Amino acid sequence: MNSAVIVFPGSNREGDVVRALKQAGSQVQKVWHAETELPAGTDLVVLPGGFSYGDYLRCGAIAGRATVMDAVRAHAARGGLVLGICNGFQILCESGLLPGILMRNANLKFICHRQFLRVERNDTAFTRAYKQGQAIDVCVAHGEGNYTADEETLRRLEGEGLVAFRYSNGHGHVTADANRNGSMNSIAGIYSDKLNVLGMMPHPENLIEDLVGGTDGRGLFESLVTSFAKAA
């Protein structure tokens, strides 16, 4: 599998996600935001976490309009895989690739902590390595992670099974306490209609080594590489 990790001015987790992808067995290239095309043969595009354009206007608002995003939209329209993590999720919403928006956290503070997520379904390219309903232990680090959408969008996401992850406790129970940023329906990540685009606020790329406290994040990258090997 060939992955392209897009780098914007202010991205800061691109190194972490490159490492996670390589660990899972992907080839990886970094791509600067001003490019007009993706490298030939790109299978997966990753929009990493960070503070693109200093979070000015709204997180991801300027990056969502970067030149390279036309190529990312074309890749997604062809059914290509796209993963946006944290700032990457914000960029996907701002660029129209995913519905809804990430608002300021309900407590108006930047939050940074370990967090369990419930895996809503394990039949997608991103989650095959997990069990349905599994609680995975990852990190969150954001100021604008409060997922918000209009009623109709929310009904569609729920009705069509497009919620990827919810904030949960360690048993996979979705509790009010676990939803620290105030997201609607405790949503931590969503898929596009065709399940080829995933945006998520938490950082699976930061829990891939026992040395730093856990490896639950590995499954996401392993799922992608395995799905791709099956499809090829």
Ligand X SMILES: NC(=O)CC[C@H](N)C(=O)O
Interface with ligand X by CB under 6 A: which residues? 49-51, 55, 59, 86-87, 141-145
**Cα gap 41→2, rounded to integer Å:** 7
- Min separation Cβ 50 and ligand X, Å: 5
Hey, which residues are catalytic here?
86, 203, 205
The conformation of residue 136, written as its DSSP 8-state character, comes to E
Identity of the residue, 53 or 228, whose beta carbon is nearer to ligand X in the bound complex: 53
- Min separation Cβ 76 and ligand X, Å: 20
Task: Select from 164, 170, 156 the least CA-distant residue to 223.
Answer: 164
**Cα gap 107→141, rounded to integer Å:** 14
Identity of the residue, 80 or 143, whose beta carbon is nearer to ligand X in the bound complex: 143
Segments of 89-186 assigned E as strands: 101-103, 111-119, 135-142, 146-148, 163-168
Task: Select from 163, 185, 173, 198 the least CA-distant residue to 80.
Answer: 198
Identity of the residue, 19 or 121, whose beta carbon is nearer to ligand X in the bound complex: 19
Mark out the alpha helices in 137-191 (DSSP H runs).
151-159
Identity of the residue, 51 or 130, whose beta carbon is nearer to ligand X in the bound complex: 51
- Min separation Cβ 183 and ligand X, Å: 12
Classify the C-alpha dihedral 216-218-220-222 as positive or negative. negative
- Min separation Cβ 203 and ligand X, Å: 7
Strands 101-103 and 146-148: antiparallel
